[in-house]
Amino acid sequence: MRDLLRLARILAAAAALAAMTACMGTEKPVVEATGVPVGGGVNVPAGSNEDFIVNVGRRTYFAANSAELDEVAKVTLQKQADWLARHTGYKIKIEGFADDGGGVESNKTLGLKRADAVRAYLGSLGLASTRMRTKTFGNLKERLVHDCNDLSCRAQNRRVVTVLERETGV
C-alpha cells in the first residue's frame, strides 16, 4: 500500500511537471545581465574557447586587498586544469586585475600577485609552466568590469581572467 501511494505521488508530480512545461511555451528565460537565453551556451563546440568560457569558467575572484585563493577559486582552477589537460593545444595568459581602490602602482602589483597565485595553483595541479604567462592590468579604467562605488559592484573587478591562446602550429 505504501508503495502504491508513493507511485501515485510520483505520477502526480510528473503530470504536474508536464502540464507546467506545456504552459511555458517555447520561449526560453533570459539571463538579464547578458541577454542570453538560459542554456544558450550548452551546445558550444567541445575544446573551443566558448567551451572553456561557458562550461569551465575563466574568472577567479578575490577578497579586497588579497591575492589569496578561496575554495570557490580553487574549484574553478581545478576545472581549468582538467580542461587544459584534455586540450593540450592551448597556452594561457593569466591576467590579474584590482578594483579601483588604492593607487595605480599598488593595484598593478596586487593584480600581478593575483595572477601569480593562479599560476602557482595551476602549476601545483600539473599544468606546465611553459603553457602559462602572467600579465597585470591593475585597475585600468578601460579594463574594469564595472566602474562604480558600490562594494558588491567593485568586487567584480578583483579578478583574474584565464585567457586561452592557441599554440602555434597546432
Say yes or no to pLDDT of 89 above 80. yes
Averaged over 3-7, what is the pLDDT? Answer: 58
Say yes or no to pLDDT of 136 above 90. yes
pLDDT of residue 138: 74
pTM for the whole thing? 0.71
Rounded to whole angstroms, how far apart are CA atoms 126 and 85? 8
C-alpha grid cell, residue 129: 609552466
Say yes or no to pLDDT of 11 above 60. no
Averaged over 133-146, what is the pLDDT? Answer: 69
Q: Please, what is the Cα angle at 127 between 124 and 133, to 5 degrees?
A: 100
Say yes or no to pLDDT of 148 above 60. no
Averaged over 138-143, what is the pLDDT? Answer: 56
pLDDT of residue 31: 43
Averaged over 109-135, what is the pLDDT? Answer: 97
